[in-house]
Structure 1
Amino acid sequence: MTLTKSMVLASAVALSPAVLAGGTHGHGHGSSIGEPGVASEASRTITVELYDNYYEPEQIEVSAGETVRFVLENKGNLVHEFNIGTPSMHEAHQEEMMMMVEHGVIQGGKLNHHMMEMDMGNGHSMKHDDPNSVLIEPGKSGEIVWTFSNESNIEFACNVPGHYQAGMYGDVTFK
């Protein structure tokens, strides 16, 4: 968890008080999965609806090097995440998301924004602000713009405790 990650492009992620881009948890973007994109360079927009506990659509097809704008709408009753990463990235991130629940940041259907600012020591907090991820309360929406590399093992997933295990993940396939 570092607070020094600052690669969020203002045009790449739309933030509101109820929508927070994902994690100073250290599992953000990486060259193997891609990098933050610029909205004006997106080849298309894909709307993804987040339900309790699945996505619609459940699979997304992209091309290597393609920039996609994702519009994310939480249609469920719980807080959900849309996180682009590899299965191992999701597994590591789930442990940190559990800490967010244990400290009262994620409270079922709402986020405690005050607790997200909590000082965990050594420059760490519960902020959730990597450009490959967004945490969304019910009835709210968010956005991620992402440029994909040629990684063959990418998923989008919700890493809120229990959600991934309940089937809330989807495959990113390459053309």
Structure 2
Amino acid sequence: MNTVTLALLFAALASPALAGGTHSDGHADAMAIGEPGKKAKATQTIRVTMKETDDGQMIFTPSDFKVRKGQTIVFAVKNAGELEHEFVLDQEDKVMEHKAMMAKFPEMEHDDPNAIRLTPGTSGEIVWKFTNDGAFKIACLIPGHYESGMHGDIVVAQK
């Protein structure tokens, strides 16, 4: 593939009209896992660390969460590792779709309220309102990170 063709492909993927949406097309409004929350309404802050371990694993600490339907959570996320990592909240099938897309386009830019990508030593947050009960996932979808253990579960219980 030549440079012009590759540039056109990336431009098409970045255009909602041509690609059927991007990471910033507002799909979060109808997500099964919930919707962006208002920090003032948060009832809990969960501090999450992302890092690599000495044995080659990549982890979230903690990696499993239990919250209540209707609850708004602030995820205070810190990248304590030496590599770039991301924290993505979603349904398992959507996580796997996103993972496949990231394998093809690892430098893809994100602009979703349910995801944050952090360089080493930086912190950020996601404020999220869980509007539905069920089982959901967290994951780092940078190629190879999920396979190295960087994923976990969120269980949203009915009130």
Q: TM-score range by the shorter chain?
A: 0.7 to 0.9
Of structures 1 and 2, the one with the larger relative CO (CA 8 A, separation 6+) is 1
* Deviation of the 1:99 alpha carbon: 3.6
Aligned match of 1:49: 49
* Partner residue in 2 for 1:173: 155
| Map of 2:23 onto structure 1 | 23
Aligned length: 135
- Across the aligned residues of Structure 1 and Structure 2, the Cα RMSD in angstroms comes to 2.2
> Does the CA contact (< 8 Å) of 1:29 and 1:132 recur in 2?
no
Tell me the residue number matched to 1:36: 36
- Structure 2: how far apart are the matches of 1:57 and 1:3? 36
Say which one has the larger Rg.
2
Alignment of 1:122-161 (within 5 A): 126-161=108-143
Task: List gaps (5 residues or longer) in structure 2.
Answer: 1-12, 17-21, 53-57
Q: 1:138-158 CA distances to partner (integer Å, 9 max, x unpaired)?
A: 101111000012241201110
Correspondences of 1:103-114 after superposition (within 5 Å): 105=107
Whole-angstrom CA distance in 2 between matches of 1:39 and 1:3: 31
Per the normalisation by structure 1, the TM-score is 0.69
Report the AA paired with residue 128 of structure 1. Answer: H
Q: Which runs of 4+ in 1 moved over 4 A?
A: 1-4, 25-29
Report the AA paired with residue 129 of structure 1: D
Q: Distance in 1 between matches of 2:133 and 2:146?
A: 21
- CA contact 1:28–1:133 (8 Å) conserved in 2: no
Q: CA deviation at 1:25?
A: 7.5
One-letter amino acid of the structure 2 residue matched with residue 152 of structure 1: G
Q: Secondary structure at the match of 1:91?
A: helix
What amino acid is the match of 1:132? N
Which of the residues 40, 60, 67 maps onto 2:65?
Answer: 60
Counterpart code for 1:74: N
Could you tell me which runs of 5 or more consecutive residues in structure 1 were left unpaired when the two chains were aligned.
5-21, 106-125
